Amino acid sequence: MNTNRTEPRLALQQIGHRGLFRHAVPVEWGGTGGRFADMVEAHIWKGRECLDPGLILAINAHLWGSVFPLLRFGNPGQKQKWLRGLIEGVLIGGHAITEPHSGSDPSAMETQARPVPGGFVLNGVKRYITNAPVADLLVVYALLESKPSAFLLIPEDPGLTVTTTHATVACHNASMGEIHLQNCRIHSDRQLGKKGAGLSMIQSALEWERAFIFAGIAGMMEWQLEQVIDFSRKRRSGKDHLGRHQAIAHRIADMRIRLDTLLLWLRECARLADEGKRITMASAQTKVIASEAFLQSTLDAIHVLGARGLDEETGMASWLNDAAAGRLFSGSTEIQKNLIAALLGTGEGYKSR
Ligand SMILES: Cc1cc2nc3c(=O)[nH]c(=O)nc-3n(C[C@H](O)[C@H](O)[C@H](O)COP(=O)(O)OP(=O)(O)OC[C@H]3O[C@@H](n4cnc5c(N)ncnc54)[C@H](O)[C@@H]3O)c2cc1C
């Protein structure tokens, strides 16, 4: 597989220097001022070029976890201090929502922010945080007087430790870590957004993430499909090449249908975002379709390639862990279906992520 792998922080910085974080960001902050539609195409291209689900995850954690929350909820001083660096890729960001006892339901968070003169003292643990070991800025969610709220933390903050325990076997090239906050003292200017706005800020960040995180994966799925088609034409079984057998041809057709469905959804989310419309329903639907498509097409690709699908050289099998993770991060398939049902006025409540 033609992967282009470098150390996670450096890889993200290089991507930033090449302008991938500038799309759909106003010109005044160093963005292109362009459209989400352009961003989707750039991410598809990037996925195809890097063939690296970990890098795709890291890019999206940076963008939707830190750049867009800061853009949307940051005060002028906070934007001035961090935004341009994040957009240029000089600084790397991410967001910390998940905790040992709070995953799908962020309202169960236990991390506390206690007000003290001039600032806050934070205590708690965040787990499975993409980019945590390489981040310069993290948006961390905590309860401020029982109300979910957001804070900007930097690795130098006293009382903040990042460990690499509880990393996953998926998305290998994204660095992942656990954040321990032990009497972590920060200045009052580090509160992001309003007290008590934490859950709606999480919802907003995850809506963007769900809508666009699979754009890079779609680029990888294009490559995956080409590999399978190529193999099915060259490999012979009986008197014919493999693709002449209907069972194989249908698998390949299904891969194409899934990929094109995903591309339609990604472009629909971009259209809605560019028109300033809500993407809550569309992004939840995109996330379900995309994550299930990536997993099933990876299984199909491995199957059509036969034992070669499990060769390290093809790299196809390693995507199975990544695809399994894709059904969990940014809110699992079940949570998206709960959300869609709630938006339709049925099912479990809307509070889960
Ligand atoms: C690769 C990767 C990267 C990640 N990066 C980040 C990050 O950067 N920042 C961050 O904060 N978190 C991150 N996470 C954590 C991720 O957001 C959580 O894994 C996810 O929210 C699910 O939470 P959980 O794993 O605790 O599962 P749980 O919430 O414990 O759920 C376990 C299972 O039960 C199902 N379930 C839970 N509640 C319901 C319900 N109400 N109805 C039906 N089914 C339900 C779930 O779908 C799941 O299948 C990452 C995870 C992965 C795998």
Q: How does pLDDT run along the chain (353 residues), one tens digit per residue?
A: 544 445 889 999 999 999 999 999 999 999 999 999 999 999 999 999 999 999 999 999 999 999 999 999 999 999 999 999 999 999 999 999 999 999 999 999 999 999 999 999 999 999 999 999 999 999 999 999 999 999 999 999 999 999 987 778 888 889 999 999 999 999 999 999 999 999 999 999 999 999 999 999 999 999 999 999 999 999 888 888 888 889 999 999 999 999 999 999 999 999 999 999 999 999 999 999 999 999 999 999 999 999 999 998 888 899 999 999 999 999 999 999 999 999 999 876 555 55
The predicted structure's pLDDT at residue 260:
98
CATH 2.40.110.10 residue spans of the chain: 95-195
Domain with CATH 1.10.540.10 in the chain: 8-92
The stretches of the chain forming alpha helices (DSSP H) are: 8-17, 36-50, 53-62, 68-73, 76-78, 84-88, 198-212, 214-234, 246-274, 280-305, 318-326, 333-343
3-state DSSP call for residue 256? helix
Contact between residue 264 and residue 254 where contact means Cβ atoms under 8 Å apart: no
Residue limits of CATH 1.20.140.10 in the chain = 201-343
- Is 291's C-beta closer than 6 angstroms to any atom of ligand 1? no
pLDDT of amino acid 39: 98
Spell out the CATH class of 8-92. Answer: mainly alpha
pLDDT score recorded for residue 346: 87
Q: How far apart are CA 96 and CA 21, in angstroms?
A: 20
Q: Which two tokens stand for residue 64?
A: 């939707």
104 Cα: distance to centroid of ligand 1 (angstroms): 5
Q: What's domain 95-195's superfamily in CATH?
A: Butyryl-CoA Dehydrogenase, subunit A, domain 2 (2.40.110.10)
**% helix / strand / coil in the chain, to the nearest 5?**
55, 15, 30
* Angstrom distance (rounded) from CA 193 to CA 200: 10
For residue 209, indicate whether it is catalytic: yes
**Residue 1 has what DSSP assignment?**
-
Question: What was the pLDDT predicted at 237?
Answer: 83
Strands 112-116 and 119-130: antiparallel
Q: How much is the pLDDT for 166?
A: 73
* Separation CA 163–CA 101 (nearest Å): 18
pLDDT computed for residue 161 by the predictor: 97
Give the pTM: 0.95
Ligand 1 centroid from CA 20, angstroms? 27
Are 208 and 167 in contact by the 8 Å Cβ rule? The answer is no
Q: Which of 99, 209, 292, 313 is catalytic?
A: 209
288 Cβ inside 6 Å of ligand 1: no
Q: How far is CA 333 from CA 104, 221, 337, 353, in A?
A: 10, 19, 6, 10
Pick the CATH number of 201-343 from 1.10.1240.10, 3.10.20.30, 1.20.140.10, 3.50.50.60: 1.20.140.10
42 CB near ligand 1 (under 6 Å): no
> So what's the pLDDT on residue 347?
72
pLDDT of residue 4: 44
